[in-house]
Amino acid sequence: MPHGKPAGIPCIQLTDDLACALFGRPERPAVCVGLKPGPIMCGSSRVDALAYLSQLEILTLPTLPPTRFSAAG
């Protein structure tokens, strides 16, 4: 995804069996290479792992400038 993957949108590189089509290839994005599976990231199930990844997406959402209707504006 040339401009990054928006939060909440599945990566276009996921295969039908939810594997990464770029795993081990040089064009795999650095952010993906940096994800190191382990007990904290994966938990004890696929549900735990997806919850962790969802939280990462929430924490890394770009911040939007305040609008005239927001509490800050």
3-state helix/strand/coil string of 48-64: HHHHHHHHHHHHCCCCC
Distance in angstroms (rounded) separating the CA atoms of residues 22 and 15 = 10
Length of the chain: 73
The yes-or-no verdict on residue 73 having pLDDT over 60 is no
What mean pLDDT is reported for the chain?
84
Tens of pLDDT, residues 35-46: 888 999 999 998
12-30: average pLDDT:
92
Sequence ranges of the domains in the chain: 1-62
- At residue 42, the pLDDT reads 92
- At residue 36, the pLDDT reads 86
Instruction: Return the bridge partners of 14, or none.
Output: 20
- pTM score: 0.63
